[in-house]
Structure formats: C-alpha cells, structure tokens
C-alpha cells in the first residue's frame, strides 16, 4: 500500500494521522492512503508566491512555453504507467484512461504552442486603443500583466490528469505558480505525475505544488493577488467561496460545477438521416465513456415527440453493446463508478428521478458494488416535471424528453438552469439559426452536428483547449481555457491612458492580442 505525500515549499512531506483510503472500485482493495492534516498551508503558499512567482515572471512567454513542453514530454514518457494507475484507482477502461491522460498532455502541448507564438514578451497589449478626448494624441490602451500571487487549483475525482494539467498549462503560461489539490479518492495518478515532473526538474522551485488529502485551512491563508479555480460539486464550491477570508480578500474564484448538459435532435432529423445516426452514437457514447462520470456528459435528451419510439429503439441497441465489467477483462467497454459512495449517490438519484420517469432502456439493481448499468429514462411530460431538470445522476444515466415544437424545445433547454455543454443534431440551417442563439444563453458551449461533420466532429463531451469551458447558472458561472482567453483569469487587465507616443514606447515588445 502506498502513502501519498504532498509537495509543498519545495519538498515532499507527509500529513498527520492515518489519512483517507484510496481503493480499487472493482475489487475494493486499498491502494493508498493520503492525509493533508498538520501541513503548513501558509508556508506553502508563501513559498509558491515568492520563489515560484518571481521565477516564472522573469521568463518570457516563449520561455514558459519551453517549460510547458518539457513538462508534457516527461508525462508522455510515462503514459503507460499512468494508464495502469487510472485503471486500478478509477476503474477506467483503456479509452477512459487515454481521455484523461492524453487529454492532459495534449492541452499542455497546445498551450506551449500558444506561448511560442507570443514570443519573447512579458506583457500582453490589446490590439486597439481608443481616442479619449478631442486631442487625437490622447489615447487609452489595455494591457495584461501577471498577477503576483499563487493559483490554487481544486480538481474533481473524475479527471485526475486532465483536470490537473489543463489548469496548470494556462497558469504556467501566464507566469503564475500553482498549488493543485486533487480529489483524494483518485489522487494517486496526480501524485505520480507530479512526482515525475519534480524529479525531472523541468520547472523552477515553487512553480508547482501538490496537496494530497484534505485542504483544511487552505482558504484561510489566501491573499489579494491569489486565485482559486475550482471543479467539483456546487455545494463544495459554495462552502469554499463563502470562506470569510476569501470574501474579505476578494479572491478571484472560478467555479466549474456539475450540470444537466443537453443534447437535442432537430425536427428535421428523420431516422434514416446522418444526423439521427450521429445523434444516437453520441448519446450512447456520452452515457458510457468513463461510466458517465464526466462534468460534460449528456443528462437531458430532447427529441421531437414523433421520434421518441425510434430513438428508444436505436438507443437500446446501442447501449446493449456497452459491455460492463472489470476493465481488465477483454471486451469490456464500461467500467465501474470510482467508489461505492458515488454508486450509492447514483442509485439514490435514480430512485428520485423515477418519480417522474420510467426506464426506457437499460436499468438494473444495486448489487452493493460500484457498478451502475447504463440507464435511459423517459419523461413523457417534461414541461410539467421538476426533478428531471434539477437532479443530476453523476453516472451512466440520461433522461429522454419529447418536445412539441421549437419554442417548447427552447423552454425545456432553459429549464436546466445553465450547463457546460449542449449539442444539436440537425441539418436545417433555418432551425439552427434561431435555436442555437436561443439556448446559448444557458450553455457555455454548443456543438452543432450536421451530416457534413457527423464523422469528424470532436464530440459533445470532449473539452477542446481552443474553446472556452464553463457555463452559467448551476454550471458555476466560471470560464477557463479558450486559447488566449484562458490567460485572462491569471492576469490583470489595466487601462493605461496617455499619449500615443508614450503608449507605443511603453508597450514596445509586448505581444499584441486581438480579443
């Protein structure tokens, strides 16, 4: 059994007490323990601010890109070992593990490429300025400068690799050190990755810190200039964000919370259309990849009422191919949920949803373990229902909802209260031109699939670093990634007023951004 340590203030150290247990969700075997008790959080944050921040800010964007690229190289050399850990601790299939591990490595490489394009600059300047008075020489220009603090990254259990490195990539490129706090239940993977990076010596002292185990008083020691990027449950986010020190210090706090992500079949998509086939493939994939444990997974499925029977028949056939079991077994396509606690929460959520739905495909009974079979529910009157728009089962569960007309589809889309992602499968340009903007106010990202991209789109649930990730309302209201847009959270945008000559001199050598 392994004891996970934390990497704080430039060295590995152990928390007090026996700590929490990390288990194999298939066998129940205890794999590791971790504790954050008794660790000096104030000292860890101060070390990151003083040593890591100073070192990173001294580098140009291109030099930081070199660090990020070297970091990605270290991880790529060890990906097979990481995949084995993901299988043991998270119950991931090979596809699930690759989504997490390779997703993190790919995001690092993407941000390294952005840094190379920014070149030998330390400063970002917006491309346009504004005349402020009758004197044409007097202008206003906006610049971005790196915050003098530490970024605290609190990550969810379902993506211990991608969640760690997608935040780290943006933070490091912006020139800000970070302290990562992975969810304890699956922290083994993050621990091993950080250990390899530290051993390789590719980052300056203080640029990277890792806390394994409970955070305890971490929020109490944040200062102005620090920030928090959180991924997880809305309840935990509310608890952390309401910390008196966080409120008093006006700490930047971005939240990505679980949400009832949407998938819509357009009124034009008949059962023999390419859009219909792509829709069935995507819904079934989103229900089964990582056993439905993705913050972007499809939870609500809207279809024209006259298409319900055809959709149920097609999804039954697709879900039947998703063989569930031990991911070590050949042919298994869906593993368990990561813990018994998550499985119990999923079964409890299913029981509540059944008050407004019936099982249309899949289903099963709690066997006392961590397995939950893919389950498609049907709610015949979603406009009158409440629970299907409020309860998310964080597992392989989705609810099918018929709609009568486009206006009702828009109303149902908005009933989810805001989500990270929506997808629309339609080849009707007129429908899409009205429908997509109407639902975009409630969704951070909208994937539109017609026949021309049915075979080549990135996927409903795949977060691409080029596009913003986050969503309004119950999704947390945060925003990350999105190429250069992601740097904004880690930098201060300031308006500088002066003569055009002085502004040009002051921003000479800055990287110009057009946003």
Residue 192 among the catalytic residues: no
Radius of gyration of the chain (CA): 24
* Whether the Cβ atoms of residue 359 and residue 353 lie closer than 8 Å to each other: no
Report residue 276: phi and psi, to 5°: -65, -45
> What is the secondary structure of 421-474 as a DSSP string?
EEEEE---HHHHHHHHHHHHTTEEEEEEE-GGGTTT---SS---TTSEE--SGG
Q: Give the bridge partners for 181, in sequence order.
A: 154
Which one is catalytic: 166, 263, 286, 295?
295
- Burial of residue 77 (CB within 10 Å: 0-12, 13-18, 19+) is exposed
* Whether the Cβ atoms of residue 142 and residue 491 lie closer than 8 Å to each other: no
Angle, CA of 494, 497 and 503, to the nearest 5°: 95
428, 434, 439, 440: CA torsion to nearest 10: 100
Q: Which residues contact 1 (CB under 8 A, 6 or more apart)?
A: 30, 31, 32, 33
SS3 239: helix
User: How many CB atoms are closer than 10 A to CB 451?
Assistant: 15
* Whether the Cβ atoms of residue 202 and residue 81 lie closer than 8 Å to each other: no
End-to-end CA distance of the chain: 50
- CA–CA distance from 480 to each of 5, 78, 103 (Å)? 28, 27, 15
Report the alpha-carbon distance of residue 177 to residue 48 in Å, rounded.
6
Q: Which residues contact 475 (CB under 8 A, 6 or more apart)?
A: 256, 257, 258, 259, 418, 419, 420, 444
Q: How far is CA 128 from the centre of its chain?
A: 32
Residue 256 among the catalytic residues: yes
Which one is catalytic: 166, 192, 256, 356?
256
SS3 373: coil
Angle, CA of 176, 123 and 148, to the nearest 5°: 30
Report the alpha-carbon distance of residue 358 to residue 343 in Å, rounded.
20
Residue among 492, 420, 513 nearest 460 (CA): 420
User: How many CB atoms are closer than 10 A to CB 13?
Assistant: 14
Report the alpha-carbon distance of residue 177 to residue 119 in Å, rounded.
20
- The residues assigned a catalytic role are 256, 295
């Amino acid at each position: 059994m392994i004891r996970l340590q934390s990497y704080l203030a430039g060295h590995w150290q152990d928390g007090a007490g026996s700590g929490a247990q990390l288990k194999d969700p298939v066998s129940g075997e205890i794999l590791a323990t971790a504790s954050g008790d008794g660790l000096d959080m104030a000292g860890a944050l101060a070390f990151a601010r003083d040593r890591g921040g100073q070192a990173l800010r001294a580098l140009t964007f291109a030099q930081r890109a070199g660090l990020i690229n070297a970091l990605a190289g270290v991880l790529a050399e060890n990906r097979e070992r990481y995949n084995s850990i993901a299988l043991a601790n998270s119950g991931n299939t090979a596809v699930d593990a690759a989504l997490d591990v390779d997703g993190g490595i790919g995001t690092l490489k993407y941000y390294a490429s952005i840094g190379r394009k920014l070149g030998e600059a330390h400063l970002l300047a917006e491309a346009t300025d504004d005349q402020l008075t009758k004197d044409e020489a007097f202008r206003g220009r906006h610049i971005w400068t790196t915050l003098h603090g530490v970024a605290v990254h609190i990550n969810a259990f379902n993506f211990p690799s991608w969640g760690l490195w997608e935040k780290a990539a943006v933070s490091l490129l912006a020139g800000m050190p970070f302290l990562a706090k992975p969810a304890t239940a699956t922290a083994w993977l993050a621990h091993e990755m950080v250990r390899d990076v530290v051993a390789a010596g590719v980052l300056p002292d203080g640029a990277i810190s890792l806390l394994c185990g409970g955070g305890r008083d971490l929020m109490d020691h944040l200062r102005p200039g620090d920030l928090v990027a959180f991924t997880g449950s809305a309840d935990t986010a509310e608890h952390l964000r309401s910390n008196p020190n966080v409120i008093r210090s006006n700490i930047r706090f971005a939240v990505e919370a679980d949400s009832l992500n949407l998938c819509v079949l357009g009124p034009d998509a008949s059962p023999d259309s390419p859009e219909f086939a792509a829709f069935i493939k995507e819904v079934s994939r989103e229900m089964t990849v990582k056993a439905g444990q993705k913050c972007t997974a499809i939870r609500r499925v809207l279809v024209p009422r006259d298409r319900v029977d055809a959709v149920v028949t097609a999804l039954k056939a697709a879900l039947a191919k998703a063989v569930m079991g031990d991911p070590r077994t050949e042919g298994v396509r869906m593993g368990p949920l990561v813990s018994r606690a998550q499985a119990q929460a999923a079964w409890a959520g299913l029981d509540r949803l059944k008050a407004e739905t019936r099982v249309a495909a899949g289903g099963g009974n709690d066997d006392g373990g961590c397995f939950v079979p893919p389950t498609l529910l049907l709610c015949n009157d979603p406009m009158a229902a409440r629970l299907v728009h409020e309860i998310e089962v964080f597992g392989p569960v989705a609810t099918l909802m018929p709609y009568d007309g486009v206006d009702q589809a828009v109303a149902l889309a908005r009933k989810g209260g805001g989500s990270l992602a929506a997808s629309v499968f339609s080849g009707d340009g007129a429908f899409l031109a009205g429908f997509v903007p109407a639902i975009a106010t409630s969704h951070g990202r909208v994937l539109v699939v017609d026949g021309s991209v049915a075979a080549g789109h990135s996927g409903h649930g795949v977060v691409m670093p080029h596009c913003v990730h986050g969503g309004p309302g119950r999704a947390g209201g945060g925003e990350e990634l999105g190429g250069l847009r992601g740097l904004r959270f880690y930098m201060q945008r300031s308006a500088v007023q002066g003569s055009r000559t002085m502004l040009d001199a002051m921003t000479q050598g800055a990287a110009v951004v057009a946003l």
